[in-house]
Structure 1
Amino acid sequence: MHMLFEYTTLRLIWWSLLGVLLIGFALTDGWDLGIGALLPFVARNDVERRMAINVAAPTWEGNQVWFILGGGAIFAAWPLVYAASFSGFYLAMFLVLAALILRPVGFKYRSKRPEARWRSAWDLGLFVGGFVPSLVFGVAVGNVLRGVPIRLDGDLRLFYEGSLWGLFTPLPLLCGLLSVSMMVLHGASYLGIRLAASAVRERARLAGSVAALAVIVLFAAGGVLVAWGGFGYAVTTMPPADGPSNPLWATTVPQSGAWLDNFVAHPWMMIAPALGFLGAALAFVGLRTRHELASLGGSSMASAGIIATVGLSMFPVILPSSVDPHSSLLVWNASSSQHTLGIMLVCTVIFLPVVLAYTAWVYRVMWGRVTTAEISTNPDLY
């Protein structure tokens, strides 16, 4: 495959595929995270909580595959990005993994005993497993936009010069809240389409409506903060797009508002933020008018548009360094070899359709509305 595509093209393909995998994770596991974060607010007794849980429980494990694929793609296609992000954000990633571990045991163990205290404890675990990853993922994106304190020496050894608490500054926190709102909106929209008429569905619609408005406000606030808050990096020395990977060949400098330059140079990119705003507005209208397909479609558009906005605004930068202008990681200077990217593309072309087909089949088999009667009579439900 690497003989069919130039090195530059392969790098662009994998940059695009990374975005696709992140969007796929947000669109599938996103509603599972959102349902977990919503659980204490939309369900007020054990039956109602079981209704919400059984919307997510049959497919959450398959949805989490997108998270693994995204991490694997970064590891294989952008090894320096993987090393910098997973090392620098190690404690934050540990927090995410600890929260995510609560999900499987929460699903499996909450119904093992009938005591209210036992079940409430696991319900709290499911809430943490939905809220904390949603928040930390957004905080991580905010730190990437702000710049990461990484430094490479002459031997390309990586050094991270930040701390855990340094991750939680105003822009990252705003991005974290936007991420939580985005997941809650998506989870509420999915509950609306998967639950039979019930109090849980009505509360989910109300919570989703609030989340849709929060997405619009926070997305706009983030744009204003990025534009006039001193954030952005300009590439002053561009490495050759078809040359070997060497991060020290590039130079980036902090430049206020630089993350908006791509939208000025390429107006078609405005499609991404437009999808973010219009999708959230469509989801709000769909939730208020009880148009379930519109709300789910709108929340999906919003998630895809917001994630695409970040990627397009930063291109070709992937991970900017805030402490060393020669240590920023770009599409052109941090990828694996042309041969590696080509082999990976062959594997992706073969196996990604299989994953998509299997996922579609699973959803077709598991599809249907969860009802109070089914919760009471079906022994296979959690």
Structure 2
Amino acid sequence: MFDYESLKLIWWLIIGILLIGFAVTDGMDMGVGGLLPFVAKDDTERRVVINTIAAHWDGNQVWFITVGASLFAAWPMVYATAFSGFYFAMMLTLFCLFLRPLGFDYRSKIDSPTWRYNWDKALFVGSMVPSLVFGVAFGNLLQGVPFSFDEFMRVTYTGSFLALFNPFALISGVVSVSMMLMHGATWLSMRTDEHVAARSAKAAQIFSAVLVVSFSLAGLMIATSIDGFIIQNTIDPLALAQPTTTKVVVTATGAWLNNFNAHPILWLLPTTGIVMAVIAGLLARFKPGGLAFTASALSIAGVILTMGFSMFPFIMPSSSMPNHSLTLWDAVSSEKTLNIMLIVVVVFLPIILCYTAWCYKKMWRTVTREEIEDNNYTSY
């Protein structure tokens, strides 16, 4: 179908699109879970909030699973190295994610305010901790991860779990959390009525401002104090995976901005992330909130694409052995594997998009307090 070089680029784009799909859909669910204790003041209002995503949250998890499967199949070295370097962080994320299906399914099994309140706290933890850890992980990628390979391509990680939570990574975590909360708030502002919608609109304004400030601060740090990675030699884009022998990598402060300086049109990406966040906050107060939600989704896309294009062609740089850094050119599966996977994506991704759109269309409504009270035993 395509030559090896094109397939490598195509799969870099596909995984980027899948990450955006995950952040827009499942990120919305996490944002709603994170807002649950703040925009809802009693059990009925919390049930209103939960029922806006009750029909969609498990379907949205498909994006998360698809991202993991794509990493495993397209970039196996990245997958293996990430699980070595971020093992405890990933285990923390997975165990917190376990709380989400349990919380949704069990909170209304017993008609007890205490029982439901405790499960609501579980939903909050299961939403916010993964959002924070995802941001921290991407912040560490931008700084480089301390790993290296031996002659048998066995990876050695020399960092620690606590070292992941450094200042820049924590700022990246704030970017991630505020992004999810802003997105969840714009969703609630158009799917609920009266008091919950009003509180959600205020939350959208607050967290859109937090996103703009934290994202701008992260960009300033990247420009002035964070070392980026540069490939000094020419890499054969048609070569097989040989991440330890084919490149010479050096680091320099502000190097992550090189792609933007070489191609000024890329500055539209961070601009989109900031401008659309501002627009989302401003529009959230208006009913219906579809424009605010769209602006929020575009802001998320702008933030993720900013990171992707700043690191290009790096996927997982190594701070301890820069020459062992993993890039989209030398850390991928075989040409045959990428071709087969591309066929699978061309067939199944439209199916996922179609049934997801159908579900949202069929379940679309404003969830009200009266609906919950009238359907006490059928709603979450």
| TM-score greater than 0.5 by the shorter chain | yes
Letter in 2 for 1:208: A
The CA distance in 1 between the partners of 2:252 and 2:8, in whole Å, is: 25
TM-score (norm 1): 0.97
Give the conservation status (yes or no) of the 8 Å contact 1:185–1:299. yes
The corresponding residue for 2:226 is 230
1:50 corresponds to which of 35, 47, 52: 47
Once the two structures are TM-superposed, the CA of residue 251 in structure 1 deviates from its matched residue by 2.4
Give the conservation status (yes or no) of the 8 Å contact 2:232–2:248. yes
2:26 corresponds to which of 21, 24, 29: 29
Q: Does 1:71 align with 2:55?
A: no
The corresponding residue for 1:172 is 169
The corresponding residue for 1:209 is 205
1:243 corresponds to which of 227, 230, 239: 239
The CA distance in 1 between the partners of 2:295 and 2:316, in whole Å, is: 29
Letter in 1 for 2:232: T
Letter in 1 for 2:102: V
Once the two structures are TM-superposed, the CA of residue 380 in structure 1 deviates from its matched residue by 2.4
**Structure 1 runs of 4+ with >2 Å offset:** 288-291
The CA distance in 1 between the partners of 2:135 and 2:174, in whole Å, is: 7
The corresponding residue for 1:87 is 84
SS for the counterpart of 2:284 is: helix
The CA distance in 1 between the partners of 2:34 and 2:83, in whole Å, is: 25
The CA distance in 2 between the partners of 1:173 and 1:130, in whole Å, is: 17
TM-score (norm 2): 0.98
The corresponding residue for 1:190 is 187
SS for the counterpart of 1:305 is: helix
Once the two structures are TM-superposed, the CA of residue 377 in structure 1 deviates from its matched residue by 1.5
1:218 corresponds to which of 214, 218, 234: 214
SS for the counterpart of 2:58 is: helix
Letter in 2 for 1:41: F
What stretches of structure 2 of length at least 5 have no aligned partner?
none
Provide, for residues 127-166 of structure 1, a one-character-per-residue CA deviation record: whole Å limited to 9, x for no partner.
0011101100000000000100110111111111111001
SS for the counterpart of 2:345 is: helix
The CA distance in 2 between the partners of 1:16 and 1:202, in whole Å, is: 38
Give the conservation status (yes or no) of the 8 Å contact 1:252–1:320. no
Provide, for residues 244-295 of structure 1, a one-character-per-residue CA deviation record: whole Å limited to 9, x for no partner.
1100122222210010000011112112111101110110110244551221
Once the two structures are TM-superposed, the CA of residue 239 in structure 1 deviates from its matched residue by 2.3
The CA distance in 1 between the partners of 2:138 and 2:178, in whole Å, is: 15
The corresponding residue for 2:379 is 381
**How many residues align structurally?**
378
SS for the counterpart of 2:235 is: coil
The CA distance in 2 between the partners of 1:370 and 1:346, in whole Å, is: 40
- C-alpha RMSD of the superposition: 1.0
Q: Map residues 81-120 of structure 1 onto 2, 5 A cutoff.
A: 81-120=78-117
What stretches of structure 1 of length at least 5 have no aligned partner?
none
The CA distance in 2 between the partners of 1:160 and 1:57, in whole Å, is: 40
SS for the counterpart of 1:5 is: coil
Provide, for residues 179-236 of structure 1, a one-character-per-residue CA deviation record: whole Å limited to 9, x for no partner.
00000000000001111x2211111111111000011111100100000013211112
Give the conservation status (yes or no) of the 8 Å contact 2:34–2:125. yes
The CA distance in 2 between the partners of 1:64 and 1:238, in whole Å, is: 39
The corresponding residue for 1:62 is 59
Percent pairwise identity: 48
